[in-house]
Chains A and B, each alone.
Chain A
Amino acid sequence: MSSELSDVLVPLPEIVLAGLASLVLIVDVFQRSRQRPATYYLAQLSLLATMVTVWATAPDQPVVALHGTYIADTMAVVLKLFLLLMVLGVFVYGRRYLDQRGVAPGEFHVLGLFGALGMMILVSAHSFLTLYLGLELMALSIYAMVALHRDSRAASEAAMKYFVLGALASGMLLYGISILYGATGSLDIATVGARIGDQAQLGVPVAFALTFIVVGLAFKFGAVPFHMWVPDIYDGAPTAVTLYLGSAPKIAAFGMAIRLLADAMGSSLADWSGMLVILSVLSMGLGNLVAIAQTNIKRMLAYSTISHVGFIFLGILAGTAEGYGSAMFYALTYALMSLGSFGMIILLSRRGFEADRLDDFKGLNARHPWFAAMMLILMFSLAGVPPLVGFYAKLAVLQAVVHVGQVWLAAVAVLFSVIGAFYYLRVVKLMYFDAPEGEVGVAGQGLDVRVLLSLNALAVLGLGLFPGALLGWCMAAFG
């Protein structure tokens, strides 16, 4: 492949998405109907087209293009496919929900597409500059999306907090990158990685840079103590946006972690691995503990996210191919479970009713046994009950940690997930053993949402029964 050709072919999915997203933006303007059906279908079409392009241009070997700023490898392909799939799901779930709350759907879809573009750039970055570009494109889109519901005080407050804290975190990340640039004289991830490995005298500046970079990463993931934004933003944002926020960006953040930590600073493994241990234990502990005290299911799931981030970190900090692969499996399946759980909240909501209190799930089994069963699958999977996929994700991560000799960490993780099981099972208890309160129903949403939710939960079950293929794919990305 000649270098000119690869310069076009490698970033082709991103080029396609950027073009289509711009088209959506223009089409949206010329529509009369408030629901903007053309925007919706075109946005979904763009995602599908991008996925096809990703699949079609997937390289056998890692290819670096655009003067070393861009890379396409198996990990990037898998992550992109999944994050596009997540965004696609979010659009289906969120369509009617946004309409019922008077939020302009066009902006949601356009911003969602540009956010997805940012995430794709992020996971394909081979230079710190590209990485930062992707990160900010994603972050700015999400800031705006959180604030979409302009009339809601909570949403505006959440957007403000997210923006300020996100700027702080970006600043720290940028500061770390600048130190690294000063120390190594390069922004190319491979070059930086090689120079850090060669020059031992870079110890202290690299350690400083590393600390700031880890902080930036931890903020994106929402790891303790950089998690404060998570519950407020998850709760304050419209549920459709929370859905977006809780699924695809976790996949992108995983890609970013691999690019920064494993690729650029692989030789400082001992340093960042130790930091991740601290963050991981704190996240699992605090996330699971505080989730118990929540009465709002969106906040509960926010804390649950924090605890799952701790688990993703477990795989990364192992620092082995097995660890990265298992963390990737965890991130992908967690995004799927998160999509389903927030989707459930959307399914139960209707005009003027959010269904975001735990009590809203009371007696769901009496009204809608099928959806109660779907929620049961999702909750059991989040808690890590076999044979659902959440169990295998936890198992893979714990195995990776045990294989590098950190048995105590695995024991701590298991202990916290036992504590965590409580609040997932409480949801099940509310659905199956309590009497219904008020009007809970699925009438507020369309058939597409119901079908998607069923598929989503059944996928969690199916991947649990046959985890081999996806797990093998994840492992192959680092093989």
Chain B
Amino acid sequence: MHYIYLAIVLAPLAGAVVAGLFGRWVSRSVAHSVAIGGVAVSFLLSLVALKHSLVDGAPAFNGTVYTWMVAGGVHFEIGFLIDRLSVLMMTVVSFVSLMVHIYTIGYMHDDPGYKRFFSYIALFTFSMLMLVMSNNFLQLFFGWEAVGLVSYLLIGFWYTRPTATFAALKAFLVNRVGDFGFMLGIAAILMYFHSLDYADVFAAADRMSGLQLEIFAGHGWSVLTLICILLFVGAMGKSAQVPLHVWLPDSMEGPTPISALIHAATMVTAGIFMVARMSPLYELSDTALSFVMVIGAITAFFMGLLGLVQNDIKRVIAYSTLSQLGYMTVALGASAYSVAIFHLMTHAFFKALLFLAAGSVIIAMHHEQDMRKMGGLKKYMPVTYWTSLIGSLALIGFPGFSGFFSKDSIIEAVAASHLPGAGFAYWSVLLGVFVTALYSFRLFFLVFHGEGRMDAHTRAHLRESPAVVTVPLVLLAIPSVVAGYLIGPLLYGEYFGDAIHITAAHPAMERLAEEFDGPWAMIVHGLTATPFLLAMAGLFTAWYVYMRRPALADLARRRAGWLYGLLVNKYGFDDFNQIVLAGGARGIGRLLWRVGDAVLIDGLVVNGSARVVGWMATVVRRVQTGYLYHYAFAMIVGLLLLMTWVVFLR
């Protein structure tokens, strides 16, 4: 198995190397065949690993591949931890990645950067698998940064567009903030645990739970709380939680397959995965869990609202992603780690589906992304229409679809949590359901129903996308429906085993397990429960406002102008960052440059010292007169100097 795990990671890397470094010498079809082949190998071997773990009942594999270095008694190693959690992530990541690879053939068909694109996404798959399969913090950090790098490269893929480079830069900078926290967290772990290995750290976590740290005199901080919050700051950056979410909507400047793969299905869930992986640490700190839950709740509700006022089809889905990531985070805060991973999985399928469907629409619309110029696409693009419908129903949690099982479980888990902030979180996720349904079907109706608002030329060329686009849609639609029925074994069976650790103080999962009696009973119950009613209300509102009475939307916009303004301005986060943080930093930078660098360092220190040295050299040089008696005199003076020193000063 050891070699299989290694192959899972290295196959996409080989694809990336061939498509990237040797791209000049290989043809387009070779490049994409190699990249897709690599990812396909990863997917198939992940299935083997899944079977090995699930059917054969193999214990978790925890092994070192090689030791990178040993410094100060700490081993820095590359190693794999393959348990139920990572094997599930590996399968999801490689599956979605494979779908996106295939889809890319169609979507990027005419792009000059075709081979570069394949190289990047294969590299991304490699990095993400490294992250997921890691058995230590160092490798986790490597994967973490590597996916961040690829994300940056891909957001800025069309580097000639100023908006794309701006968005790439923004994503990179915001992630730096998060990564700084993450790095501090890892540093704190190294400092207190003297090891970066998961197994060592988790084994020692109990002993550390009472340890206090005084940052400010008199205020003791639990070391574990600090570590957990710092690590979560990293997750906030990568998984786009408020207030580090600002980069994700802008990342839609990248090509649509990227939005599906990286900025919806996989990379942004790295933070969720990380917290679930660290469950033995988070379980020991209620403060950290509360913090996680409140941040998640804010993201889930308020970011969903923003989706209501967007007109760009991809941006609506982006805000939806933010909101859904908030849901996952809330589940983590409620100690329902398995539910968070479950939602991560179902979301990966239906959100990738929605993005790829949006991409299909964008292809048909000749790269027009404004929903106000669409409408009535149902009759032109039947496959896209039906798969979008499945995706949207899964997203709003319609009973029977995958999103229903995971989202309802989250709401139930939050209701069962007793941590501070759980009440706020409960109402946030509950009302979030209404908002989700509203923006999802606003998009759906505006795009596929009603009158076509596109120009005649575009209308004349409307047709369904080619098979490389529609086949992945169909393949993703299947798990978007059926993945939910895994709920029984996944959440309430013994699936995760030791991979996720929950203490008795957080009984949310036990409460859920008591109430659960099969997926069908859950559907029946769900049809009468509040979330379903809220979702239906949202769906109906969307239909009424955007299909029946389009004037109503304008009216609402005029009446509640301040609210609309607040939403359009995204609560002012961007402006704040742009003016206060970016502007301030640049102001300080300019000040340091003008005064500190140009005047003090360049002027005074560098050129000044050179001038002083040069001046001294010319002065001292004159001492060398060439007269013998001056030389002899200097020797006498030197003798007296030494004598004075030895007689009087010692």
- List the interface of chain A (C-beta within 8 A of B): 160-161, 164-165, 168-169, 172, 204, 207-208, 210-212, 214-215, 218-219, 224-226, 228-229, 231-232, 270-271, 274-275, 278, 286, 289-294, 419, 422
Q: B621–A215 contact, CB under 8 A?
A: no
When A161-B631, A164-B632, A293-B618 are in contact, do A172 and B639 touch as well, CB less than 8 Å?
Answer: yes
Give complex CA distance A186, B597 in Å: 64
Q: Known contacts A168-B632, A225-B638; can you find 11 more A-B pairs with CB under 8 A?
A: A165-B632, A169-B635, A211-B643, A215-B642, A226-B638, A271-B650, A274-B646, A290-B621, A293-B614, A293-B621, A419-B613
Give complex CA distance A415, B8 in Å: 54
Q: A275–B628 contact, CB under 8 A?
A: no
Q: B635–A226 contact, CB under 8 A?
A: yes
Instruction: Tell which of B616, B630, B631, B639 touches A215, judged by Cβ atoms closer than 8 Å.
Output: B639
- 4 smallest beta-carbon distances between A and B, as pairs: A228-B631, A225-B638, A293-B617, A292-B617
Q: B641–A292 contact, CB under 8 A?
A: no
Give complex CA distance A348, B290 in Å: 80
Instruction: Tell which of A165, A168, A286, A419 touches B620, judged by Cβ atoms closer than 8 Å.
Output: A286
How close is A372's CB to chain B, nearest CB, in angstroms? 26
When A211-B646, A225-B634, A231-B624 are in contact, do A289 and B639 touch as well, CB less than 8 Å?
Answer: no
Q: B642–A275 contact, CB under 8 A?
A: yes
Interface flags, B597-639, vs A, CB<8A=1, else 0: 0000000000000000110111011001010101110110111
How close is A455's CB to chain B, nearest CB, in angstroms? 34
Q: B630–A228 contact, CB under 8 A?
A: yes
Q: A271–B632 contact, CB under 8 A?
A: no
Chain A residues with CB below 8 A from B638, complex form:
215, 218, 224-226
Chain A residues with CB below 8 A from B616, complex form:
289
Please provide the chain B residues from 487 to 537 with a CB less than 8 Å away from any CB of chain A in the complex: none
Q: What are 16 A-B pairs at a CB distance below 8 A?
A: A161-B628, A161-B631, A164-B632, A165-B628, A165-B635, A207-B646, A207-B647, A214-B642, A215-B639, A226-B638, A228-B630, A232-B624, A271-B650, A275-B645, A289-B617, A293-B617
Give complex CA distance A61, B631 in Å: 43
Chain B at the A interface: mostly helix, strand, loop or mixed?
Answer: helix
How close is B619's CB to chain A, nearest CB, in angstroms? 9
Q: From B626, which residue of chain A is reached at the shortest CB distance?
A: A232
Give complex CA distance A382, B126 in Å: 49
Q: Which residue, B631, B637, B645, B650, has most C-beta atoms of chain A within 10 A?
A: B631
Q: A274–B645 contact, CB under 8 A?
A: yes
Q: A274–B650 contact, CB under 8 A?
A: yes
Q: B631–A290 contact, CB under 8 A?
A: no
How close is A138's CB to chain B, nearest CB, in angstroms? 19
How close is A224's CB to chain B, nearest CB, in angstroms? 8
Chain A residues with CB below 8 A from B637, complex form:
225
Q: From B637, which residue of chain A is reached at the shortest CB distance?
A: A225
Give complex CA distance A80, B630 in Å: 35
Instruction: Tell which of B635, B641, B647, B650 touches A168, judged by Cβ atoms closer than 8 Å.
Output: B635
When A207-B646, A210-B646 are in contact, do A290 and B635 touch as well, CB less than 8 Å?
Answer: no
Q: Which residue, B617, B643, B647, has most C-beta atoms of chain A within 10 A?
A: B617
Q: A165–B645 contact, CB under 8 A?
A: no
When A165-B628, A292-B613 are in contact, do A278 and B641 touch as well, CB less than 8 Å?
Answer: yes
- List the interface of chain B (C-beta within 8 A of A): 613-614, 616-618, 620-621, 624, 626, 628, 630-632, 634-635, 637-639, 641-643, 645-647, 650
Q: From A219, which residue of chain B is reached at the shortest CB distance?
A: B635
Chain B residues with CB below 8 A from A229, complex form:
631
Give complex CA distance A193, B650 in Å: 21
Q: B646–A165 contact, CB under 8 A?
A: no
Chain B residues with CB below 8 A from A278, complex form:
641-642, 645
Give complex CA distance A306, B647 in Å: 27
How close is A20's CB to chain B, nearest CB, in angstroms? 37
Q: A228–B642 contact, CB under 8 A?
A: no
Q: Which residue, B613, B624, B638, has most C-beta atoms of chain A within 10 A?
A: B638
Q: From B613, which residue of chain A is reached at the shortest CB distance?
A: A419
Q: From A419, which residue of chain B is reached at the shortest CB distance?
A: B613
How close is A436's CB to chain B, nearest CB, in angstroms? 26
Q: B618–A225 contact, CB under 8 A?
A: no
Give complex CA distance A270, B639 in Å: 18
How close is B621's CB to chain A, nearest CB, in angstroms? 5
Chain B residues with CB below 8 A from A161, complex form:
628, 631
When A278-B641, A289-B616 are in contact, do A215 and B635 touch as well, CB less than 8 Å?
Answer: yes
Give complex CA distance A218, B628 in Å: 18
Chain B residues with CB below 8 A from A422, complex form:
613
Chain A residues with CB below 8 A from B614, complex form:
292-293
Chain B residues with CB below 8 A from A228, complex form:
624, 630-631, 634-635
Q: A225–B646 contact, CB under 8 A?
A: no
Give complex CA distance A160, B628 in Å: 9
How close is A172's CB to chain B, nearest CB, in angstroms? 7
Chain A residues with CB below 8 A from B642, complex form:
211, 214-215, 275, 278
Give complex CA distance A337, B175 in Å: 53
Q: A164–B646 contact, CB under 8 A?
A: no
Q: Which residue, A219, A224, A290, A419, has most C-beta atoms of chain B within 10 A?
A: A290
Q: A211–B639 contact, CB under 8 A?
A: yes
Q: From A291, which residue of chain B is reached at the shortest CB distance?
A: B617
How close is A125's CB to chain B, nearest CB, in angstroms? 23
Chain A residues with CB below 8 A from B613, complex form:
289, 292, 419, 422
How close is A228's CB to chain B, nearest CB, in angstroms? 4
Give complex CA distance A472, B634 in Å: 39
